[in-house]
């Protein structure tokens, strides 16, 4: 069985990388947690609401499918699947652009266990360091979340936001537009401003009027709002943010790499939220339209549009729908078209308004008339702050989940899970010279296509070895020690000494900063971030960093 899977992973690519014509720019658009059924629902809802729009922006560019497995599991997780797009190597659930351990018979792709837990260089890093291109991220989740992290950080735990954010700030990306203001600490902001960045927080007008080409713009402390709930005066759409990023990045004559994520399609799917799901994908589709328009005008830009995995097992039609093939579109899509607010925002609204307004709120924002039984059940939700019942009598689940159950009782969508699913996902692509992947690709093969678009196919592993060398190899012949602190939030330092000339180099983990003392004390900034992994007890640094101590 294992050998069969390994053979499958080495199947002929949908397009040979050596035949791909290099381009100057790549725009990679990833819609997180998006199954085919989500795309179909979004297309139907767009048509139902406006019969002059039967097609999505991506439709003319659909060209194949992608298998998005982890290194040891057929069902993907955002961290290893996007890191595979970025690096060309599959990895484990939770791993951010990091080599996985060898899991023997469970391996789907070949694994080199000797490299386990070490960082894998990303296409963003290669574009910046090897080719001098500008780089950017545009997402609606918090910026250290899995998909943006996969482009710009390395660690075996996607939840280590402090470690990931530290690396992202020190990657010196040109443009970051995202959620997650809480994760940009004062020291990060000081570093960015020192290096010429404009840093904006919850300032949509500032973003729209920003003249600087080096920019971090963050909205909300956590994730940005679902598009169905978004206030345009406070938060840009994904399409507008993409347009702003492209305007800035395209000024670099050497080109750029931009990753745009429809981050919260995944969230809506996880929650089985029928109100948020299709508007969230349609917002992503509009961003795809912006990218495709740019690419067609530019003539030297490739665009790749792909999910990282499926989610929720949603179906249009369910067991409650009898005579399914005789039901008109009003039955299937009419109830969903009435939803004007996500379940997340509806739960917040219910906690803001008095209990006696419950019926009118549901009628106004969700097109639902509640029964007496449903109002009583709502009052029993444990986190319903406006409930007339004392807390000890609130014995139902969470408010958002209850809102979702009310909405799904009134439509005919089916849901099989709150988790990810293992089917292939769609692929859409544009290449100015027509070399696009068609048919079924693995996530490894799609990475090879992306690498080839920058002329980097076959070069990524050597680049990884050069910028992420074990510290005991890079500093062979010198004295070194790893200094650790018990204080929370203080990362390890690597102190290296040359006893022959008294020079000392201190490397700060998860940054690109080192301090050189001795005959000519100075702060050194490396092109790469330098990571530390506790499981190997090693720093990973540029191979030639030891030359500073000579």
> What pLDDT, in 10s, does the model give residues 197-232?
999 999 999 999 999 999 999 999 999 999 999 999
pLDDT at 363 over 90: yes
Given this model, what pLDDT does residue 4 score? Answer: 36
Residue 375 to residue 237: CA distance in whole angstroms: 35
Given this model, what pLDDT does residue 489 score? Answer: 85
CB 217 within 8 Å of CB 203: yes
Given this model, what pLDDT does residue 521 score? Answer: 80
Given this model, what pLDDT does residue 519 score? Answer: 72
Strand order in the sheet with 62-67: 198-201, 215-219, 175-179, 134-142, 256-262, 25-31, 301-307, 425-430, 62-67, 439-442
Residue 86 to residue 126: CA distance in whole angstroms: 10
pLDDT at 12 over 80: no
CB 91 within 8 Å of CB 83: yes
CB 334 within 8 Å of CB 411: no
Query: What mean pLDDT is predicted for residues 498-520?
Result: 93
CB 503 within 8 Å of CB 519: yes
pLDDT level of residue 6 (50, 70, 90 thresholds): very low
Query: What mean pLDDT is predicted for residues 408-418?
Result: 98
List the domain boundaries for the chain.
2-309+417-467, 328-411, 469-549
Report the topology of domain 2-309+417-467.
Alkaline Phosphatase, subunit A (3.40.720)
Given this model, what pLDDT does residue 11 score? Answer: 58
For residue 100, give the H/E element and its range.
none
pLDDT tens digits along 325-360: 999 999 999 999 999 999 999 999 999 999 999 999
Q: How far is C-alpha 377 from the geometric centre of its chain's CA atoms? A: 36
Phi, psi of 27 (to 5 degrees): -115, 115
Phi, psi of 469 (to 5 degrees): -90, 140
Residue 38 to residue 48: CA distance in whole angstroms: 15
For residue 263, give the H/E element and its range.
none
Query: What mean pLDDT is predicted for residues 244-265?
Result: 98
pLDDT at 278 over 70: yes
Q: Which of 216, 238, 215, 208 is nearest to 225 (CA)?
A: 238
Residue 490 to residue 225: CA distance in whole angstroms: 32
pLDDT level of residue 57 (50, 70, 90 thresholds): very high
Given this model, what pLDDT does residue 320 score? Answer: 95
Given this model, what pLDDT does residue 45 score? Answer: 98
pLDDT at 129 over 50: yes
Q: What percent of the chain has pLDDT over 70?
A: 98
CB 53 within 8 Å of CB 47: yes
pLDDT tens digits along 81-117: 999 999 999 999 999 999 999 999 999 988 999 999 9
Query: What mean pLDDT is predicted for residues 154-170?
Result: 98
pLDDT level of residue 7 (50, 70, 90 thresholds): very low
Residue 550 to residue 531: CA distance in whole angstroms: 23
Pairing mode, strands 215-219 and 175-179? parallel
Given this model, what pLDDT does residue 2 score? Answer: 38
Q: How far is C-alpha 249 from the geometric centre of its chain's CA atoms? A: 19
Structure-block tokens of residue 186: 């004062």
pLDDT tens digits along 465-487: 999 999 999 999 999 999 999 89
Given this model, what pLDDT does residue 5 score? Answer: 38
Question: Which 8-state DSSP code applies to residue 119?
Answer: B
Given this model, what pLDDT does residue 455 score? Answer: 98
Q: Maximum Cα–Cα distance for the chain, whole Å?
A: 86
Mean pLDDT (the chain, rounded): 96
pTM score: 0.96
């Amino acid at each position: 069985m294992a050998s069969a899977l390994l053979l499958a992973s080495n199947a002929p690519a949908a397009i040979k990388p050596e035949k791909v014509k290099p381009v100057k720019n790549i725009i990679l658009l990833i819609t997180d947690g998006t199954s085919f059924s989500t795309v179909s629902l979004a297309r139907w809802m767009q048509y139902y609401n406006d019969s002059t729009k039967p097609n999505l922006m991506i439709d003319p560019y659909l060209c194949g499918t992608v298998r998005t497995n982890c290194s040891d599991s057929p069902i993907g997780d955002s961290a290893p699947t996007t890191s595979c797009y970025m690096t060309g190597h599959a990895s484990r659930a939770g791993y951010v652009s990091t080599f996985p351990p060898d899991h023997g018979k469970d391996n789907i792709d070949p694994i080199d266990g000797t490299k386990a837990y070490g960082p894998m260089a990303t296409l963003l890093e290669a574009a910046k360091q090897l080719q001098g291109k500008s780089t950017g991220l545009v997402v609606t989740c918090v910026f250290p979340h899995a998909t943006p992290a996969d482009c710009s950080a390395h660690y075996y735990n996607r939840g280590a936001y402090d470690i990931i954010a530290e690396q992202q700030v020190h990657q010196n990306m040109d443009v970051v537009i995202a959620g997650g203001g809480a994760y940009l600490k004062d020291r990060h902001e000081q570093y960015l401003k020192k290096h010429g960045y404009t840093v904006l927080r919850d300032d949509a007008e500032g973003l729209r009027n920003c003249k600087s080409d080096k920019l971090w713009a963050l909205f909300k402390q956590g994730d940005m709002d679902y598009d169905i709930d978004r206030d345009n005066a406070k938060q840009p759409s994904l399409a507008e943010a993409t347009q702003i990023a492209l305007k800035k990045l395209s000024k670099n004559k050497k080109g750029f790499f931009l990753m745009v994520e429809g981050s919260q399609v995944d969230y809506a799917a996880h929650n089985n939220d029928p109100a948020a799901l299709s508007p969230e994908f349609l917002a992503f589709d509009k961003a795809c339209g912006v990218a495709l328009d740019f690419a067609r005008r530019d003539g030297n830009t490739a665009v790749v549009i792909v999910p990282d995995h499926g989610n929720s097992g949603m179906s249009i039609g369910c067991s409650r729908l009898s005579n399914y093939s005789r039901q008109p579109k009003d039955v299937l899509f009419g109830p969903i078209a009435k939803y004007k607010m996500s379940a997340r925002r509806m739960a917040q609204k219910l906690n803001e308004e008095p209990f006696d307004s419950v019926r009118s709120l549901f009628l106004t924002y969700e097109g639902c008339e509640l029964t007496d039984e449903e109002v009583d059940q709502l009052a029993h939700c444990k986190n319903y702050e406006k409930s007339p019942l004392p807390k000890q009598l609130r014995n139902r689940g969470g408010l958002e989940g209850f809102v979702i159950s009310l909405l799904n009782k009134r439509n005919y969508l089916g849901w099989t899970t709150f988790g990810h699913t293992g089917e292939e996902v769609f692929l859409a692509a544009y290449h100015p010279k027509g070399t696009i992947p068609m048919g079924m690709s693995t996530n490894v093969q799609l990475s090879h296509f992306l690498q080839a678009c920058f002329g980097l196919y076959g070069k990524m592993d050597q680049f990884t070895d050069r910028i992420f060398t074990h510290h005991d190899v890079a500093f062979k012949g010198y004295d070194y020690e790893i200094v650790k602190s018990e204080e929370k939030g203080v990362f390890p330092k690597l102190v290296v000494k040359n006893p022959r000339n008294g020079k000392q180099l201190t490397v700060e983990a998860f940054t690109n900063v080192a301090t050189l003392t001795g005959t000519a004390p100075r702060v050194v900034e490396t092109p790469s971030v330098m990571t530390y992994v506790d499981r190997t007890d090693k720093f990973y640094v540029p191979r030639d960093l030891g030359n500073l101590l000579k």
